[in-house]
Amino acid sequence: MARTKLTAKEIEKQKEEQKIRAKASRAVRRSGKSIKTEGKVGKAKAKTKETRSQKKIATVRKSRN
């Protein structure tokens, strides 16, 4: 499949979008939070077998947010 030639306007739009994505990813790195949090399974939460105290649960939840 041959790719169609992009117009100058489309190239400019793509460059702008890339700049926005780069800014967002840098900001995320600074804040320490990841962008893609949807759809992730908390394996540690699912695997815990021993009962935890309410204080411990609160600490774990706090650290995950």
In a domain, 64, yes or no: no
pLDDT in tens, 50-65: 666 777 788 888 888 7
Domain that residue 21 falls in: 9-33
In a domain, 65, yes or no: no
Residues 6+ apart with CB under 8 A from 6: 14
In a domain, 28, yes or no: yes
Residue 49 pLDDT level (bands cut at 50, 70, 90): low
Contact 25, 35 (CB under 8 A): yes
- Rounded to an integer, the average pLDDT of 22-33 is 80
User: How high is the pLDDT of residue 34?
Assistant: 60
Instruction: Give the angle 64-58-29 at the CA atoms, nearest 5°.
Output: 20
Residue 46 pLDDT level (bands cut at 50, 70, 90): low
Domain count, the chain: 1
User: How high is the pLDDT of residue 36?
Assistant: 59
